């Protein structure tokens, strides 16, 4: 394992979308020097000179110690930690280009919540493959962290999961501030699957809201969603307790109940009768990870013989043209069973 800085002062955030920018602010407010990479030159310039990123975090004033560039080599120079803040399905393409530029001793940190289509890999597995490092060295950020609330400095907790506890502690020190409280955890599988699966359940809750359904339906989807993500996670070796924590029920409740969630909002549009294309056009270019992850997680679950009926229903609505009402009726019409079987 490469040596790494235990006192991380210089961090690079690759991706200047909602969460990349909000997490950069967390680090800046924790006293760290942050360089961001933005795809668009105009966004990089806005972050550096006007200390804002209006397209993603309107009304947010960013710390002056955050600068940005559209040149990944310049962004990565001298980084002690590198935070990957691009969507799951584009991480492979981006990281392939960035790999030769990564400082060998930098701690790699993953913000993405998804499972890759095709390979069915979790994000730390994709990063390990492309960055050519041990997956046990990657720090995964998860938990109830709606970017706009964090950017507004509203109090929140998170989980930093890494098999190597010392790396998680280094990022914990670098990101703790007066409104952001990160906990460490060594269950990377559980934390990553919690983050990826809850996006799919948030789609289903949004869809129920779009159909005009109320609190009982929401609570049922959240609770049964938790049951199916825990079934998948434990099959893959996760600690069941993780799903009772911030990366499980914590993130699930925040995302399924907040109008700020892109996944919930996307589902609500489908519930109101929008097509997939119409809902996609309305997201303003921002990612709703559950739309791709419902398919990859479904395939992963099937390959392991794990039953994930809500995820399956979301795949059928999003990608097979099944009507949301019919998907709901089919969920209720399944054979009767014990709560924990
Ligand atoms: N927004 C939130 O509240 C939170 C998001 N996350 C996760 O963080 C990851 C990133 O999400 P956000 O920053 O919210 O996404 P976003 O859609 O707001 O921003 C994505 C960023 O990635 C860049 N990018 C680079 N290559 C791209 C490509 N090929 N396609 C699309 N975008 C590309 C975009 O330019 C943009 O800067 C996702 O996996 C998401 O689930 C996790 C916690 C909170
Ligand atoms: O992961 C999130 C909150 O923890 C953000 O959820 P959305 O991607 O649905 O906005």
Question: Which residues have CB under 6 Å of ligand 2?
Answer: 113, 144-146, 199, 202, 251, 254-255, 261-263, 289
Could you tell me where the DSSP H helices lie in the chain?
A: 18-29, 41-45, 72-76, 88-98, 123-131, 147-151, 165-175, 188-210, 215-235, 251-257, 262-271, 276-281, 290-304, 309-320, 324-332
Per-residue tens of pLDDT for the chain, all 341 residues? 679 999 999 999 999 999 999 999 999 999 999 999 999 999 999 999 999 999 999 999 999 999 999 999 999 999 999 999 999 999 999 999 999 999 999 999 999 999 999 999 999 999 999 999 999 999 999 999 999 999 999 999 999 999 999 999 999 999 999 999 999 999 999 999 999 999 999 999 999 999 999 999 999 999 999 999 999 999 999 999 999 999 999 999 999 999 999 999 999 999 999 999 999 999 887 889 999 999 999 999 999 999 999 999 999 999 999 999 999 999 999 999 999 98
Do the annotations mark residue 18 as ligand-binding?
yes
The answer to whether residues 312 and 330 touch, using CB atoms and an 8 Å cutoff, is no
* Residue ID of nearest Cα to ligand 1 atom 41: 113
pLDDT at 285: 79
Q: Could you tell me if 159 and 203 lie in one domain?
A: no
Kindly provide the ipTM of the predicted complex, given to two decimals.
Answer: 0.98
Do 76 and 211 lie in a common domain? Answer: no
Please name every residue paired with 161 in a beta bridge, in sequence order, or none if there are none: 140, 185
Residues 157 and 203 in one domain: no
Query: Quick one: 152 and 288 in the same domain?
Result: no
Same domain, 25 and 119: yes
What is the DSSP track for 39-91?
A: SSHHHHHIIIIIS--TTTSTTPPPPTTEEEES-HHHHHTT-SEEEE-S-HHHH
Secondary structure (DSSP) of 227-240: HHHHHHHHHTT--G
Domain's final residue, options 157, 186, 215: 186
**Does the residue 261 lie in any domain?**
yes
56 vs 18: CA distance, rounded Å: 5
* Same domain (yes/no): 125, 182: yes
Tell me if 75 is assigned to some domain. Answer: yes
Q: Which pLDDT does position 308 carry in this prediction?
A: 98
Q: Are residues 204 and 122 part of one domain?
A: no
**Residue closest to 315 by CA, chosen among 270, 272, 285, 282:** 270
Pair 63, 135 in one domain: yes
**Is residue 314 in some structural domain?**
yes
Q: Write the CATH number for 67.
A: 3.40.50.720
For residue 115, list its beta bridge partners.
122
Starting from the CA of residue 252, give the closest ligand: 2
Same domain (yes/no): 214, 298: yes
3-state DSSP assignment of residue 254:
helix
Please give the tally of structural domains in the chain. Answer: 2
The closest ligand to the CA of 147 turns out to be 1
> 77 — alpha (psi -120 to 50), left (phi > 0) or beta?
beta
Same domain? For 180 and 200 the reply is: no
User: Does 340 reside within a domain?
Assistant: no
CATH code for the domain of 261: 1.10.1040.10
CA distance 34 to 10: 6
Range of the domain at 301: 196-332
Residue 37 lies in a domain: yes
């Amino acid at each position: 394992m490469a040596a790494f800085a235990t006192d991380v002062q210089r961090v690079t955030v690759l991706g200047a979308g909602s969460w990349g920018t909000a997490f950069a602010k967390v680090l800046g407010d924790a006293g760290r020097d942050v360089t961001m990479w933005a795809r668009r030159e105009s966004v990089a310039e806005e972050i550096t000179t006007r200390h804002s990123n209006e397209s993603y975090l309107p009304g947010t004033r960013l710390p002056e110690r955050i600068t940005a560039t559209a040149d990944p080599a310049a962004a990565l120079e001298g980084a002690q930690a590198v935070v990957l803040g691009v969507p799951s399905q584009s991480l492979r393409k981006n990281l392939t280009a960035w790999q030769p530029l990564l400082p060998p001793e930098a701690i790699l940190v993953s913000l993405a919540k998804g499972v890759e289509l095709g390979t069915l890999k979790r994000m730390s597995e994709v990063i390990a493959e492309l960055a050519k490092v041990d997956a046990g060295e990657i720090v995964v950020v998860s938990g109830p962290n709606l970017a706009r609330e964090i950017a507004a400095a509203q109090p929140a907790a998170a989980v930093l999961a890494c098999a190597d506890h010392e790396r998680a502690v280094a990022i914990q020190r670098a990101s703790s501030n007066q409104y952001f409280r990160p906990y460490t955890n060594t269950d990377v599988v559980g934390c990553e699957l919690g983050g990826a699966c809850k996006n799919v359940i948030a789609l289903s809750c949004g869809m129920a809201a779009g159909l005009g359904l109320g609190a009982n339906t929401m609570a049922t989807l959240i609770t049964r969603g938790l049951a199916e993500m825990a079934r998948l996670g434990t099959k893959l070796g996760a600690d069941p307790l993780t799903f009772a924590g911030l990366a499980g029920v914590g993130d699930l409740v925040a995302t399924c109940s907040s109008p700020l969630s892109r996944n919930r909002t996307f589902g609500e549009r489908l519930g109101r009768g929008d097509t997939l294309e119409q809902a996609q056009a309305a997201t303003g270019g921002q990612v709703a990870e559950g739309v791709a992850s419902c398919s990859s997680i479904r395939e992963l679950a099937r390959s392991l013989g794990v039953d994930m009926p809500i995820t399956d229903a979301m795949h059928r609505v999003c990608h097979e043209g099944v009507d949301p009402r019919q998907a709901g009726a089919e969920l209720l019409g399944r054979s009767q069973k014990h709560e924990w079987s």
